[in-house]
């Protein structure tokens, strides 16, 4: 039997998603907790691996099991064995050919920026503090130039192992709510560090360091060294993974800002 799960986690204390030889990955924590419920070892496969310090409110994964449990038992049983910073939000049986990564049709990330003179103690691990004023209109003008199916080589990490850098960027919105800026990014798939590199480039435009047209120049160059700095990992959250509707999996809403953020 194959089970799909929704996962929420604070990535601060983890070395990313993947099980690690040294340090702890979210995958390891989940496999241990779910294995206790199943009463046998199992492997959890996620929709998108997240880096060290990156968070998730809408991660999706699947695992195979011979254990017969209700969805309630998977949910409550796993959560009772998980630390407070990792949590299952739902569990559903799925067809055997379902794959959390390869069945996904889109992924959405949120990058959060605190834009004011003073930093925040409470949100220091959830948002990038930028004290220079950021012009949202300039950032959105640059963002619009990056939409579509493009070669995003200029926005991939040097160590990215993806076979192709072509991705379809479907949404790149910049919204301000008081001192908070939220970048919402949707694509069919992402390259390693792609969202963080996009965020760093848009911040360079918003601060006046670069003009909006520079974003198109960087994209067309295919040269990572020409783009902005990689934004810190702790501002990034995986908020949603979309699948074909016939699977009937939950599709969480993506609010203008993350829950709990000041208006």
> How buried is 152 (Cβ within 10 angstroms: 0-12 exposed, 13-18 middle, 19+ buried)?
buried
User: What distance in Å separates the CA atoms of residue 4 and residue 26, rounded to the nearest whole number?
Assistant: 16
51 is catalytic: yes
Q: Report, in this order, helix, strand and coil percent for the chain, each rounded to 5.
A: 25, 25, 45
Cβ contacts of residue 76 below 8 Å, gap of 6+? Answer: none
Which is catalytic among the residues 51, 85, 151, 256?
A: 51
The C-alpha angle with vertex 30 and arms to 63 and 69, in degrees rounded to 5, equals 55
* Rounded-to-integer distance, Cα 173 and Cα 184, Å: 5
CA torsion through residues 112, 204, 225, 171, sign = positive
- Which are the catalytic amino acids? 51
């Amino acid at each position: 039997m194959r089970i799909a799960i929704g996962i929420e986690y604070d990535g601060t204390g983890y070395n990313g998603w993947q099980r690690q030889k040294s340090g702890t990955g979210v995958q390891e924590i989940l496999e241990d907790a779910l294995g206790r419920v199943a009463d046998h070892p199992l492997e959890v496969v996620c929709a998108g691996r997240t880096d060290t310090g990156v968070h998730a409110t809408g991660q999706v994964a699947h695992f195979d099991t011979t254990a017969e449990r209700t969805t309630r038992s998977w949910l409550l049983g796993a959560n009772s064995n998980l630390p407070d910073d990792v949590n299952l939000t739902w569990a559903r049986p799925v067809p055997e050919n379902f794959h959390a990564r390869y069945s996904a049709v889109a992924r959405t990330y949120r990058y959060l920026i605190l834009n004011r003179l003073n930093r925040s103690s409470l949100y220091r691990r959830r948002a990038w503090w930028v004290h220079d004023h950021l012009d949202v209109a300039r950032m959105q003008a640059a963002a619009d130039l990056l939409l579509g199916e493009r070669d995003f080589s200029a926005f991939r990490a040097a160590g990215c192992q993806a076979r192709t850098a072509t991705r379809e960027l479907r949404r790149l919105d910049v919204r301000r709510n008081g001192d908070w800026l939220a970048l919402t990014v949707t694509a069919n798939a992402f390259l390693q560090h792609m969202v963080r590199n996009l965020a760093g480039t848009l911040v360079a435009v918003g601060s006046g360091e670069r003009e909006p047209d520079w974003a198109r120049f960087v994209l067309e160059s295919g040269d990572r060294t020409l783009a902005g700095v990689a934004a810190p990992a702790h501002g990034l959250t995986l908020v949603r993974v979309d699948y074909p509707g016939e699977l009937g999996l939950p599709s969480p809403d993506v609010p203008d800002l993350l829950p709990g953020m000041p208006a």
